[in-house]
Each structure stands twice: as structure tokens, then as C-alpha cells.
């Protein structure tokens, strides 16, 4: 495993990851799928990150490709919790930090308190 954290957030791209990293205030593994998700890639992620034994959160864009990825991931990881950004923002990368902080803290992920004001 790359990092030693019980929590994993699965996102679509690097800009999503960077936006989340600005807000969180604890060690969380953030996995980028790069928008593609095949069986082989999933098996690799499952083994590398031990996803069956960790708290997994799915945070993808509120667009067609994000919803398709969310459906695939929830079929493969039924224990995963879903985090949604507002359809007003559509993309994780463009969601304001304060909104992201609020939805992340609701899932018991520590965030920088400055973003909760």
C-alpha cells in the first residue's frame, strides 16, 4: 500500500484530488481513476489498496461519466459510502472548498476548520 490510512476517497482525476487535498486535515488515500475503470484496473486497485478492508468513499463529478463511474464502483464496492457534490457545481474540481469541507466532515473526514466558516 502506498499510504497508511484507513480511509480512501476515489475520484476521477488529478484536479479533483488536488481540490480535496486543499480541504482535508487527516491522512486519507486519494485514488484517481482517470475517468476509466475496467475489471483489470479495479482488481489492481482492490489489491494495491486493500479496498475490501478500508473505509471507501466515492466522490465523482455529477455528470454522465461521473454517474457511470459511481455505478460501476458501487457494484464492485458495495460497502463504499457516496459523497455528492451539488449539481450546481457539477465537478469536484470546481466545487468551492467550503462546500467540499461540509460534505467531507459529514462523512467524518477531518477538514481544515478554516473552510467551515
**Residue-wise pLDDT tens digits, 96-106:** 999 999 999 99
pLDDT value at 5 more than 80:
no
Mean pLDDT value of segment 98-116: 96
Mean pLDDT value of segment 33-44: 82
Residue 41: band (very low, low, confident or very high) from pLDDT cuts 50, 70, 90: confident
Task: Tell me the pTM.
Answer: 0.92
Ramachandran area for residue 7 (φ above 0: left; ψ -120 to 50: alpha; else beta): beta
Residue 3: band (very low, low, confident or very high) from pLDDT cuts 50, 70, 90: very low
**What 3-state DSSP class applies to 7?**
strand
Q: Hey, what domains does the chain have and what are their CATH numbers?
A: 7-109 (3.40.1360.10)
Beta bridge partners of 8: 29, 56
According to DSSP, the β-strands at 55-59 and 7-11 are parallel
Average pLDDT score over the chain: 91
| Sign of the dihedral defined by the CA atoms of residues 28, 47, 69, 79, in that order | negative
Amino acid at each position: 500500500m502506498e499510504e497508511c490510512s484507513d480511509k480512501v476517497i476515489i475520484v476521477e482525476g488529478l484536479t479533483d484530488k488536488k481540490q480535496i487535498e486543499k480541504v482535508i486535515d487527516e491522512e486519507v488515500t486519494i485514488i484517481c481513476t482517470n475517468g476509466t475503470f475496467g475489471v483489470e484496473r479495479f482488481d489492481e486497485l482492490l489489491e494495491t489498496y486493500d479496498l475490501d478492508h478500508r473505509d471507501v468513499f466515492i466522490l465523482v463529478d455529477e455528470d454522465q461519466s461521473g454517474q457511470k463511474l459511481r455505478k460501476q464502483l458501487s457494484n464492485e464496492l458495495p460497502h463504499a459510502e457516496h459523497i455528492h457534490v451539488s449539481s450546481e457545481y457539477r465537478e469536484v474540481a470546481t466545487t468551492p472548498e467550503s462546500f467540499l469541507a461540509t460534505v467531507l466532515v459529514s462523512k467524518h473526514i477531518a477538514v481544515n476548520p478554516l473552510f467551515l466558516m
